[in-house]
Amino acid sequence: MGEKEDERTSQAGQLFENFVQATTCKGTLQAFSILCRQLELNLSDHRGFYSSLKAAVTYWKAKGLWGKLDKRASHKEYSKGKACTDTRCLIIGGGPCGFRTAIELALLGAKVVVIEKRDTFSRNNVLHLWPYTIHDLRNLGAKKFYGKFCAGSIDHISIRQLQLMLLKIALIVGVEVHVNVEFVKLLEPPEGQGTDGPGWRAEVRPADHQISDYEFDVIIGADGRRSTLDGFKRKEFRGKLAIAITANFVNRNTTAEAKVEEISGVAFIFNQKFFLELKEETGIDLENIVYYKDNTHYFVMTAKKQSLLDKGVIINDYIETERLLASDNVNQEALLSYAREAADFGTNYQLPSLDYAINHYGQSDVAMFDFTCMYASENAALVREKNSHQMLVALVGDSLLEPFWPMGTGCARGFLAAFDTAWMIKGWAQGKEPLDLLSERESIYRLLPQTTAENISKNFEQYTIDPATRYPNLNSTCVRPHQVRHLYINGEQG
Ligand code: FAD
């Protein structure tokens, strides 16, 4: 009897370990499905899923993780997972912010489905993490999924590692994830059937995917900088011309590589001598440069147009940035040399070999992006009503507020918005008046672009989805309900 029990514990432990250690998106989903099948876990019981998994996986290594997740789940805001029991959410996009939002909504007890159009996590690029994000991820068990997570003074992670870790946590807390499913558009509830009739649904690609039957009352756009959700006006911040280059080189983890110092962008912006010498020696003219040692050697730099022209990276000079950076106006070989030379100089020629890592397309991982125009959504949320069905629509992450990569604000502000959105959805589930809800959300959203690692609350241990725990100078009524009437879109009224 005892032996059989031991065997079962160890088999469950092994299956769970395979899932925890999976290194790809597909591998994770596969290991998860085997785990659920073998342990006879009921995936459709999203609210009870985490407890059943915990009861089935009792080996010592998992216990630490359960302890952390239990602690998180005990926040009073979640009302023991009963705050949003009747809420059904669809999240578009499995980037870091989509998954981070999904985890919060699952902890609130909502049914959460994430659709992601791809089935690979391939971005080598590295995200800067603010101290609170490191704390947040540690508390979700980050180190169990990625042992090297933010060791010592490291404060960054590759996008794909972060996606992978958050995917695993989301699955554990009962989020349903579908890859290779692309959101196309919203489908209105049919006419004449009232509240008992079918509700809001989504058109997806492939069209016959089971998710096209899923009805929800909350939809979240977490699909990156080019959000597909209708109804949100975008504000444009037009700055001076800003061309960013990202480059990833193979990290062979040798002692020589380990010795090379990272470059934190903020410190370097003020180091004029460095940029002058770089220009004199190489002809490369940069405004800033960041170097993080991660799975790859990752560099992001902002280059001045003239030096890109002089070095033959950009072929012809055009006023419109889109034309300027169009692929037929960029000499890829020259771009590879430019970024490599800058990386070599920036690290004082100490990196032994600067071989490019390979990107998703099987090519050397270098890219050039235009940040001259940065976008932010004018509003963070709206409510649609059609044929007696109300639906809350919200944006998070880059869809809401586009980050400037060399400053690395994307994930930090993205997570704050994920929490703020979860807070709003809790209010939605409690039956708060739509205009009150929307005005509160807009009031909080006004703070987001001003947040820095320094001006948010320092008491990370107190952080919850309640905005008051995170923003020291919160005024959640600065936008009044009458100012957000346009965000309540009643389809019946045309
Ligand atoms: P994203 O990470 O962009 O995730 C959006 C997800 O939605 C993607 O997985 C996408 O496949 C999916 N998706 C899109 N449309 C649909 C659809 N219709 N249906 C279903 N799924 C959809 N930030 C930095 O600080 N430094 C960098 O060097 C850097 N490099 C980047 C390179 C690239 C190519 C991209 C796209 C972004 C980069 N960023 C970088 C931004 C950074 O990745 C984001 O700030 C961060 O990942 C949080 O964004 P997010 O979760 O909101 O969106």
Q: pLDDT for 474-484, tens place per residue? A: 999 999 999 99
User: What pLDDT does residue 266 have?
Assistant: 58
Same domain, 67 and 89: no
Q: Are residues 75 and 85 in the same domain?
A: no
Q: Is the same domain home to 85 and 222? A: yes
Give me the pLDDT at residue 9, please.
83
Q: Which residue has the tokens 């058109």?
A: 203
User: Which residue has a Cα nearest atom 28 of ligand 1?
Assistant: 125
Task: Tell me if 92 is assigned to some domain.
Answer: yes
Instruction: Give the pLDDT score at 270.
Output: 64
ipTM: 0.99
Please tell me whether residues 414 and 450 are part of one structural domain: yes
Q: Judge whether 342 lies within some domain.
A: yes
How distant, in Å, are the alpha carbons of 108, 219, 352 from that of 251?
40, 39, 10
Q: How confident is the model at residue 373 (pLDDT cuts 50, 70, 90)?
A: confident
Question: Rounded distance, CA 166 to CA 25, Å?
Answer: 11
Residues 188 and 173 in one domain: yes
Report the C-alpha gap between 251 and 356 in whole angstroms.
9
Same domain (yes/no): 382, 475 = yes
**What totals of helices (H) and strands (E) does the chain contain, helices first?**
16, 17
Query: Is the domain of 255 the same as that of 295?
Result: yes
Residues 290 and 339 in one domain: yes
464: CB partners within 8 A, 6+ apart: 75, 76, 77, 419
Which of 24, 405, 448 gets mutated to test ligand 1 (max ligand atoms within 8 A of its CB)? 405
Percent of the chain surpassing pLDDT 70 = 98
- How far is the centre of ligand 1, averaged over its atoms, from the C-alpha of 94 (Å)? 9
- 295: alpha, beta or left? (left if phi > 0; alpha if psi -120 to 50): alpha
Backbone φ, ψ for residue 82 (5° rounding): -120, 10
What CA–CA distances, in Å, run from 186 to 94, 141, 183, 191?
18, 35, 8, 15
| Number of structural domains in the chain | 3
Q: Average per-residue pLDDT in the chain?
A: 94
Residues 329 and 396: their CA atoms lie apart, in Å, by 33
Residue 423 confidence class, pLDDT cut points 50, 70, 90 = very high
Give 397-419 pLDDT, tens digit per residue.
999 999 988 888 889 999 999 99
Q: What pLDDT, on a 0 to 100 scale, did the predictor assign at position 8?
A: 81
Q: Which positions ≥6 away from 304 have C-beta within 8 Å?
A: 243, 285, 286, 287
Q: What is the CATH number of the domain that holds 199?
A: 3.50.50.60
Q: Which residues contact 362 (CB under 8 A, 6 or more apart)?
A: none
Residue 359 lies in a domain: yes
Is residue 234 situated within a structural domain?
A: no
Confidence label for 5 from pLDDT (cuts 50, 70 and 90): confident
Residues 110, 199 within the same domain: yes
Is 414 domain-assigned?
yes
> For position 265, what pLDDT does the model report?
65
Distance CA 400, CA 354 (A): 36
In a domain, 126, yes or no: yes
Cα(77) to centroid(ligand 1), Å: 29
Which of 90, 100, 127 is the best mutation target for the ligand 1 pocket, counting ligand atoms within 8 Å of the beta carbon and taking the most? Answer: 127
Q: In angstroms, rounded to a whole number, what is the distance separating the alpha carbons of residues 325 and 318?
A: 9
* Domain boundary pick from 338, 371, 404: 371
The ligand 1 site (C-beta within 6 Å) comprises 92-98, 115-118, 123, 125, 127, 159, 182-183, 222-224, 228, 246, 300, 397-399, 403, 405, 408, 410-411, 414
Ligand 1 nearest-atom number relative to CA 402: 45
Please give the backbone phi and psi of residue 467, each rounded to the nearest 5 degrees, phi first. -55, -30
In a domain, 235, yes or no: no
Identify whether residues 113 and 68 lie together within a single domain.
no
Domain for residue 179, yes or no?
yes
Ligand 1 centroid vs 224 CA: distance in angstroms?
A: 5
Domain end call among 371, 405, 424: 371
Which of 57, 80, 103 is the C-terminal boundary of a domain? 80
* Whether residue 290 is found in the same domain as residue 347: yes
Q: Are 100 and 224 in a shared domain?
A: yes
Confidence of residue 494 (pLDDT cuts 50, 70, 90): very low
Domain that holds residue 49: 2-80
pLDDT tens digit string along 231-261?
A: 999 998 888 889 999 999 999 999 999 999 9
Q: What is the pLDDT at residue 239?
A: 83
Q: Could you tell me the pTM of the whole model?
A: 0.97
